[in-house]
Chain A
Amino acid sequence: MENYKGAVIGLPSATYCMTAQKLLRLKGIDSELVRPDPSALAKGCSHGITLNPKRLKEAEGILIRHSIPISRLP
């Protein structure tokens, strides 16, 4: 898999990450689970997925349509 570091979508938990990965895979978008740097988050440890920056907006749209709570991380 390509190194997609740079485009990260923050998600509330590991469970949501796996649901998000499943939904994106159905649309042909590959992603990897990551543990974002806690310094980027007000509440500390969290979970996220990293993906091709070119497909970030599309991915965010898919997840929002499925009521997945997301946040964009630096």
Chain B
Amino acid sequence: MIYFDNAATSYPKPSSVYAEVERCIRDYCGNPGRSGHKLSLEAQKTVYDCRCELARMFDCKSEENVVFTLNTTYALNMAIKGLARSGDHIIFSNIEHNSVIRPVNALGCDYDIFDSTQSTDRIIAEIVRLIRPNTKMIIAAHKSNIAPLQNPISAIGRLCRQRGLLFICDAAQSAGLYPISIKQSCIDALCIPGHKGLYGIQGCGAVLFSDAFKGFCAHNIRTLAEGGNGVASLDPYMPSVLPDRLEAGTLPTPAIAGLLAGIREVERVGTDHIRNHQNMLYRRLKENLLNVRKAELYLPEVNGGQILLFNIKGCSPEYIAEELDKNGICVRAGFHCAPLAHKALGTGPLGAVRASFGAFNTLEETDKLASELLKLQ
């Protein structure tokens, strides 16, 4: 089986991740933060170590400001609904995932959308034009989930800081692949998955809040869910401090243990190395597809990336994906929960096919994909 759906979830995982998840479930899977017994404390230590690793990796000053969630979608919901209020105006980009578009619409906030396919200067100029007196926040994906498109997050963060706006960054496709500094990019809430570029298992993501929300300043964040967390049990309200204010219920300790092992593996191999490897795969597949007469590549001028988007004239994207699956190749067809980005790239009424690379893919696998596509035309 050849797996090119790493933008949805990375597969396979490093062997150290499988081993640590199993060790956690078998040996120390108590409920973290609840009890004083050994099993609970060992689980708590793993959770804490993972917070510290994430804080260090993304230049977040306080590990207490690392809040675990189910995934990036929950992380974005937590940040957006926790910080925006009805009547606020929000600005986001046209490469955002539905995990941004839908929460903003559900809040009933007014919003405007800027075009990420422009130069940095033009993007910033467009955002400046869109800012209103009641603009509360800007939300920007670091990297698109359908193509090698990106937002200039440091420039957007600096603008937010100058204008007193909050900046929420969706790093679903970039965490583990690109260096990200919350401090340097002036990010107020960085939303990350555990199961993509950090190579953990499904079931865990995180929001990393800036120091503006340290200690009792977290009281300004509205909770997404309320419940038990082993703290102040006689109080009918959630605690005022992070992470406990936003972590209701039992955490997914095995997934957090796997994420910790994944982070360590990514750091051992090196994000630059993984990214360069994927750029090489991208270039090889692009070169091969340029020889497929009926292939339509989106952004063919781009010479590196982790995701290649394409169509084959005369075939629907779903048909292509089905045919590839019959030959043991996993890709994803359709709109990839990113309708605005598809519109910007002009993929048409059926969307497109996405091949997304991971650390374990090989050049031979990209050649096999190209040869199967040749048979389809």
Contacts and interface: CB of A to CB of B under 8 A. Distances in A.
A45 B41 contact: no
Contacts of B239: 12-13
B64 interface: yes
Contact of B231 (A33, A47, A67): A47
A14 B33 contact: yes
A33 to B, nearest CB: 6
Contacts of B62: 19
A67 B241 contact: no
A28 interface: no
A42 interface: yes
A19 B45 CA distance: 11
A44 B232 contact: yes
Interface size class of chain B, counting residues whose CB lies under 8 Å from the partner chain: 20 to 34
A43 B235 contact: yes
Interface string A30-64: 00011100100111111100000000000000000
A15 interface: yes
A18 interface: yes
B241 A12 contact: yes
Contacts of A34: 36
A67 B62 CA distance: 10
Contacts, number: 66
- Residues of A contacting B: mostly: loop
B231 A19 contact: no
B235 A13 contact: no
A15 B63 contact: yes
B33 A44 contact: no
B44 A67 contact: no
A14 B241 contact: no
Given A12-B241, A43-B233, A44-B235, A35 B214 contact: no
A62 B330 CA distance: 54
Contacts of A33: 36, 41
A36 B300 CA distance: 62
B200 interface: no
B103 to A, nearest CB: 26
A69 B370 CA distance: 58
B215 A14 contact: no
Given A44-B234, A45-B232, A69-B215, A16 B36 contact: no
B51 interface: yes
Interface in B212-243: 214-216, 229-235, 239, 241, 243
B45 A18 contact: yes
A24 B118 CA distance: 50
Contacts of B96: none
30 contacts: A12-B231, A13-B33, A13-B229, A13-B230, A13-B231, A13-B241, A13-B243, A14-B32, A14-B44, A14-B230, A14-B231, A15-B51, A15-B64, A16-B64, A19-B64, A33-B41, A34-B36, A42-B234, A43-B234, A44-B232, A44-B233, A44-B234, A44-B235, A45-B233, A46-B232, A47-B230, A67-B215, A69-B215, A69-B216, A69-B241
Which 10 residue pairs are nearest across A and B when measured between Cβ atoms?
A44-B234, A43-B232, A14-B33, A44-B233, A35-B36, A45-B233, A43-B235, A18-B48, A13-B244, A12-B241
